[in-house]
Amino acid sequence: MSAGDSMPRFDAADEAALLEAIDRWIDRELKPIVKEYDHADRYPAHVVQQMRELGLFGATVGVEYGGLGLPATTYAQIVMRISAVWMSITGIINSHLMLALAIEKFGTPAQKTRWLPKLASGEIRGGLALTEPDAGTDLQDIRMSARRDGDHYVIDGTKTWITNGAEGACVALLVKTDPSAQPRHKGMSLFIAPKQAGFTVGKKLDKLGYKAIDTVELVFERYRVPADHLIGGAEGQGFYQVTSGLELGRINVAARGVGIADGALALATGYAQQRKTFGKPICEHQAIQLKLAEMATRARAARLLTLDAAAAFDRGVRCDLEAGMAKYFASEAALENSIESMRIHGAYGYSKEYDVERFYRDAPLTVIGEGTNEIQRVIIAKQWLKRNPIA
C-alpha cells in the first residue's frame, strides 16, 4: 500500500499466510540465537539477509516499487510477533521504512523511481537521522546546516542515536537550510544522504538494552550532496515531512511495546505454572494471579490501541492522537510487564540465563524512542482538545 491510498489492498488470507511464515521464521531462526547475539552485542548480519529475503525491507513500500505494500495493521502485527522474542531487530526495519516512507510520500517522481525499488529490495538499507547531541524531542533546535553551492548543498554537523548508521548505506537527513527562519520549522529540509566523502560513522553507542544492532554517531564535514537529493525538491518542508512519518514510527514503537508486553507475559505464565512454593505451583497463589491478570489486561489493551492507530493510518487520516495513545500506553505496558515478569521469576529473573532480563533491559527504549512519553501526553492532550472544542 502506498502512503496515499485510502485503504490497503491486502486480504485476510494473504495476511494469515504471511504471519504464519513470520512465526515459522521466528521459531526456526531467532529463538535459538537471540540470547547469544544480545549478550555479545553482535550484529546479526545473517538475520538481516533473511529479513531481506522475506521482503521486510519493503514491507510498507508500494507494490509498484517492488515492496509488499502491507497495510500498517499487518506490519504492526509482524513487529509485535518479532518483538515478543527479539525487539532489537525490529528497529532495523523501522528506521529503514521511515526513510522509504519519506521518499514515497513526499519525494519527486524521479526520487521515487531511483530510490524506492532499491530500498524495497534491501539492496540499499538506511535510516532516519534526526537526533543531535543537543536536540532530540525538540527537533526544531537542530544545528546541522546545509548551504546551497551551485547544484549541490554542503552539509556540516553531527547526528547521534542513529539506527542503521553503521551498517546502512543511506539516511534521510534533517538539516537547517535557513537557520534564521521564523518559525524555526520553516527553515528545515530533509535530504537523501548516501555514504560518500564527508560522511563519517563515529562511535558506536554502548546501550543498556536494544543490543546487537548498530546505534551510532554520524559526522558530516563539508559533505556535498546533489540538489536533486532534497526530498520533494523544495526547501523548508523537512519538519512536516518528518513529523508526518513519525506516525508510522510511533505505531512501530507501540507494536514493539506490545511484543515486549506479550513476551514478558508468556515467560511469566510458563514459569508460574512450573515453579512451586508451599507445595503448589505459584500460579495458584492469589498474589501471582493478580499480577498475571494485570499483565494480560495491559498487553491486550496495548494491542487494541496499536491496531486502532494502525487502522487509522491505513485510512489515510491524521492519526497523531491515536499513534500517540498507542505508543504511550504500549510502551508503559512493556515496562510494567517486564518488571512484573522479573518479579514473578524471582532471583532467576535477575539472571542472564533467563530471557526475562532482556525484556527488562529492552523495554525502557520504547518509552523514549520516537518521542518521549512525556511529549506523547502533551500531543495527546492537544489533539484531544482540538478534536473536542467547547460548543
Question: Residue 9 has what pLDDT?
Answer: 58
**Residue that has been written with the C-alpha cell 538481516 in this structure:** 48
Closest alpha carbon to 246 in 319, 317, 187, 190:
319
Closest alpha carbon to 210 in 368, 51, 344, 56:
368
Paired residues of 147 in beta bridges: 154
Question: Residue 370 has what pLDDT?
Answer: 85
Task: Looking at 55-175, list the stretches that DSSP marks H as alpha helix, in order from N- to C-terminal side.
Answer: 72-86, 90-106, 109-121
Residues 310 and 73 sit within 8 Å (Cβ to Cβ): yes
Cell of 13: 488470507
Q: What is the pLDDT of residues 22-75, one digit of tens each?
A: 999 999 999 999 999 999 999 999 999 999 999 999 999 999 999 999 999 999
Closest alpha carbon to 210 in 365, 349, 373, 328:
365
3-state helix, strand, coil in the chain (%, to 5): 60, 15, 25
- Please tell me the distance from the alpha carbon of residue 391 to that of residue 386, in angstroms, as a whole number: 12
Q: What is the pLDDT of residues 87-96, one digit of tens each?
A: 999 999 999 9
Q: Which of 235, 332, 340, 370 is catalytic?
A: 370
DSSP string for residues in 219-238: EEEEEEEEGGGBTTS-TT-H
DSSP, res 352: T
Residues 342 and 272 sit within 8 Å (Cβ to Cβ): no
Paired residues of 280 in beta bridges: 277
Name every residue whose Cβ is closer than 8 Å to that of residue 300 and which is 6 or more positions away in sequence: none
- Please tell me the distance from the alpha carbon of residue 72 to that of residue 329, in angstroms, as a whole number: 18
Question: Residue 5 has what pLDDT?
Answer: 44
Residues 169 and 138 sit within 8 Å (Cβ to Cβ): no
Task: Looking at 107-175, list the stretches that DSSP marks H as alpha helix, in order from N- to C-terminal side.
Answer: 109-121
Q: Write out the chain's pLDDT in tens, 391 residues.
A: 444 444 445 678 889 999 999 999 999 999 999 999 999 999 999 999 999 999 999 999 999 999 999 999 999 999 999 999 999 999 999 999 999 999 999 999 999 999 999 999 999 999 999 999 987 677 888 999 999 999 999 999 999 999 999 999 999 999 999 999 998 989 999 999 999 999 999 999 999 999 999 999 999 999 999 999 999 999 999 999 998 778 898 999 999 999 999 999 999 999 999 999 999 999 999 999 999 999 999 999 999 999 999 999 999 998 999 999 999 999 999 999 999 999 999 999 999 999 999 999 999 999 998 889 999 999 999 999 999 999 8
Question: Residue 298 has what pLDDT?
Answer: 98
Closest alpha carbon to 76 in 384, 266, 311, 277:
311
Considering the chain, what is the average pLDDT of its residues? 94
- Structural domains of the chain in order of their starting residue, each with its CATH number: 12-125 (1.10.540.10), 127-234 (2.40.110.10), 240-387 (1.20.140.10)
Residue type, 271: Y
- Count of other CB atoms within 10 angstroms of residue 97: 29
pTM to 2 decimal places: 0.94
Q: How far apart are the first and last CA of the chain?
A: 38
Give the H/E segment covering residue 297: helix 286-314
User: Is-catalytic flag, 235?
Assistant: no
